[in-house]
Amino acid sequence: MLLFAPNELVNLECRTALTPASVRKLKGLGIEVRIEAGLGGAADFPDELFLAEGAEKIGRDEGLKSADLVFCVNPLASDEIRMMKRGAMLIGFLEPFHVHLEDGEAPVDTPAKARMDAMLEAGITGVSVEMMPRTTLAQKMDAISSQANLAGYVAVVLAAERLNKIFPMMMTPSGTISPAKVFVIGVGVAGLQAIATAKRLGARVTAFDTREEALEQAESLGAKALRIDLGETGSTDQGYAKELTPEQLEIQRAAQGKVCAESDVVICTAKLFGRKAPLLVKADVVASMAHGSIIVDLAAETGGNVEGVVAGKEVVTGNGVRIIGHAKLENFVPRDASGMFANNLSNFIEHFWDKETSSFKHDDEDPILKGAVLTRDGKFVNEHPAFKK
Ligand code: NAD
C-alpha cells in the first residue's frame, strides 16, 4: 500500500495531514509513505524529519497517480482527484456541504459538486472526516473535535492579545484591576476549551448554549451559565444542536444582548452541522459594546454568528469594537493542529487495518465507515439525512 501526502494549496493553510510521528506509525503497519517536498514546512516539520522516519519524496503528479491512499487537510481540486488511481482512497476535510452559500440552499454548480463528480467518475473512495460519527469508538478519529478544541484555545489567546486590559484580577498598591469579562456563546468543543482557557487566564466567564447539558459542562469549568427560556430546543442523535426557530432566535438575542454589552470579550462558536450558522449578535448589540471590546466569531466561514464579521479578517466597527473573523483559528498553532489531525487520519487507517493482508478492510455495515465514506466504486454511498435535501 502506497500513501501520498501532497502539499496544501489553500491560501493561509499551515497544517499538514501527515507528521513525522504519523509516518512512523503508518510505516509500522507496512504502508509505504511518500510526501511532496515541503509538505510540513508551514508547521515547522522540515522534510528531513519525514525522511528520517522512512518517507520518500516524490513529485505531486506522480504521487497522486501512484498512491492507493492520499491524505489531505483541504479537499483536492477535481482535476487532481481525476488523476488518482481507480479504487484509491482520499481522506481529509472533503467539505461535502455547500454552507458557504448565502442562503444555505443546495447549489447546482460549485467546486464541492465538481469534486464529488470527480470522485464518482474516478471511482475514488472519498472519506470525509467531517462526517465521522461522534461516538466513543470514533473519538480518536474525530478531526472536527481535535481542531475545534485548538480553535477555542486560540480564540481566547488572540482576544487576550488584542484586548486593552488584562484577563486576571490584580490587587496591587497601585490599584486594583478587575478581571476581564468573557462571554462564550456556543459551548461545544471549541466553546468549552475557550471557557477553560479564559478561566486559566483569570477571566470571569459567562456562557450560553441552547443545550442544557452544555451549560452544565460550562458550569463544571467554573463559568456562569446564562439560562434563557427558549421552549423546546434539544440536540440530534450526534449531539449537535437543533436549529432554533426565528422566534426562539429573537428571544435568545434579546436575552443575551445585555451580557454582550457588559463583556470585554465575546466568543461565538455556534455552528449548525452542514448549515449556515445562526446570526446571534446583531449590529445594535455590537454598537452597545464598549470601545476596545473584542468579538471572536468562529463561525465566520459559514456565515458568522455576528453581524458585520468578515471571514478571514479583523474589522473594527465605528464604535471601536474589533470583530475577529479569521477562519480556522487552529492554523495559528499548526504544529499541534497537524499533530492532532495526522493522528486522526492514521488512527482511522489503523482501526480498519487488516494485518494478515496488509490492506484496508472495508465493511459496508461498519457505523464509522457508513458515516464517513461519501463515495465508493463510482457510487454515492452516504445516507446522512443532510444529503437528502
Ligand atoms: P458545533 O461546532 O456544531 O456547535 C458549537 C456549539 O454551538 C454547540 O454546543 C451547539 O449546541 C451550540 N449552538 C448552536 N446553536 C446555538 C445558538 N443559537 N446559541 C448558542 N449556542 C448554539 O458543535 P461541536 O462543538 O462540534 O459539538 C457539539 C456536541 O457534540 C458536543 O458538545 C458533544 O456533546 C458532542 N460531541 C460528541 C462527541 C463524541 O461523543 N465522540 C465528540 C464531539 C462532540
- The fraction of the chain above a pLDDT of 90, given in percent, is 86
pLDDT higher than threshold 70 for residue 259:
yes
Q: Which residue owns the Cα nearest ligand 1 atom 11?
A: 241
Task: Choose which residue among 210, 245, 305 to substitute to test ligand 1 binding: the one with the highest number of ligand atoms within 8 A of its C-beta.
Answer: 210
Q: Residues 102, 172: one domain?
A: no
C-alpha cell at 215: 451549560
Q: Which single residue is written with the C-alpha cell 465605528?
A: 318
Residue 139 lies in a domain: no
Kindly report, residue by residue over 162-188, the tens digit of the pLDDT.
999 999 999 999 999 999 999 999 999
Closest ligand 1 atom to the C-alpha of 243?
15
Tens-place pLDDT, residues 15-65? 999 999 999 999 999 999 999 999 999 999 999 999 999 999 999 999 999
Q: What is the pLDDT of residue 272?
A: 81
**Residues 345, 324 within the same domain:** no
pLDDT class of 289 with cuts at 50, 70, 90: very high
- Same domain, yes or no: 177 and 114: no
Tell me how far the alpha carbon of residue 277 lies from the centroid of ligand 1, in angstroms: 12
pLDDT tens-place string over residues 64-122 = 999 999 999 999 999 999 999 999 999 999 998 753 333 445 555 678 889 999 999 99
On the 0-12 / 13-18 / 19+ scale of CB atoms within 10 A, 110 is middle
Question: Which ligand 1 atom is nearest residue 144's CA?
Answer: 26
Determine the atom of ligand 1 nearest the C-alpha atom of 189: 25
Please give the average per-residue pLDDT across 353-377, as a whole number: 95
Range of 13's domain?
Answer: 2-131+333-376
Looking up cell 455556534 gives 270
Q: Which of 185-189, 244-248, 263-267 is predicted with the least confidence, judged by mean pLDDT? A: 244-248
Are 345 and 235 in a shared domain? no
Tell me what the mean pLDDT of segment 195-216 comes to: 96
Domain co-membership, 52 together with 155: no
Strands (E), the chain: 2-5, 32-35, 56-57, 69-71, 89-92, 125-128, 170-172, 175-177, 181-185, 204-208, 224-225, 265-268, 294-297, 314-316, 322-324, 353-354, 359-360, 373-376, 379-380
In a domain, 385, yes or no: no
- Cα 323 to averaged position of ligand 1 atoms, centre (Å): 22
* Phi, psi dihedral angles at 335 (to 5 degrees): -70, -50
Does residue 136 lie within any of the structural domains? Answer: no
Which pTM value belongs to this model? 0.94
- Asked if residue 382 is part of any domain, the answer here is no
Centroid of ligand 1 to alpha carbon of 241 (angstroms): 6
User: pLDDT tens digit string along 272-287?
Assistant: 877 889 999 999 999 9
- Taking CA atoms only, the protein residue closest to ligand 1 atom 31 is 188
- pLDDT the model gives residue 106: 52
Q: Report pLDDT for 271.
A: 87
Which one of 134, 146, 368 would you pick to mutate in the ligand 1 pocket, going by the greatest count of ligand atoms within 8 A of its CB? 134
State whether 160 and 70 are in the same domain: no
Q: Which of 66-75, 100-109, 325-334, 379-388 has the lowest mean pLDDT?
A: 100-109
Distance 187 CA to ligand 1 centre (A): 6
Residues with a CB atom less than 6 Å from ligand 1: 134-136, 139, 142, 144-145, 148, 185-191, 208-211, 214, 239-241, 244, 252, 269-271, 273, 278, 280
Of 311, 332, 353, which residue is a domain's last? 332
pLDDT of residue 113: 86
Ligand 1 atom with least separation from CA of 213: 34
CB 156 within 8 A of CB 333: no
Flag whether 383 is in a domain: no
Distance, CA 236 to ligand 1 centroid (Å)?
10
Statement to judge: residues 161 and 282 lie in one domain: yes
Verify that 202 and 302 share a domain, yes or no.
yes
Is 389 within the bounds of a domain?
Answer: no
In a domain, 387, yes or no: no
Residues 354 and 326 both lie in one domain:
no
Distance (Å, whole) CA 163 – CA 340 = 29
Would you state the pLDDT for residue 81? Answer: 98
Mean pLDDT throughout 225-242? 81
Closest C-alpha residue for ligand 1 atom 10 = 241
Please name the residue whose Cα sits nearest to atom 3 of ligand 1: 271
* Listed residues 302, 317, 332: the one ending a domain: 332
Q: Whose CA is nearest to atom 9 of ligand 1?
A: 188
Q: Tell which residue, 125, 117, 14, 114, has the closest CA to residue 73.
A: 14
Residue nearest to atom 23 of ligand 1 (CA): 188
Query: Where residue 354 falls among pLDDT bands split at 50, 70, 90?
Result: very high
100 and 185 share one domain:
no
Number of structural domains found in the chain? 2
More confident residue, 241 or 204: 204
Question: 46-50 long-range CB contacts below 8 Å, 24 or more apart?
Answer: 49/20, 50/18, 50/20, 50/23
Give the list of residues 6+ apart from residue 320 with CB closer than 8 angstroms, or none: 291, 292, 293
Probe ligand 1: pick from 139, 183, 247, 269, max atoms within 8 Å of CB?
A: 269
- State the distance from the centre of ligand 1 to the C-alpha of 160, rounded, in angstroms: 24
Q: Verify that 370 and 300 share a domain, yes or no.
A: no
CATH assignment of the domain containing 124: 3.40.50.720
Catalytic residues: 134, 139, 142, 145, 240
* C-alpha–C-alpha distance, residues 304 and 271, integer Å: 9
pLDDT at res. 101? 37
Mean predicted lDDT score pLDDT of the chain? 94
- Which comes out higher in pLDDT, residue 301 or 290? 290
In a domain, 301, yes or no: yes
Distance 328 CA to ligand 1 centre (A): 16
Q: How confident is the model at residue 389 (pLDDT cuts 50, 70, 90)?
A: low
Shared-domain flag, residues 8 and 114: yes
Q: Using CA positions, which residue lies closest to atom 27 of ligand 1?
A: 188
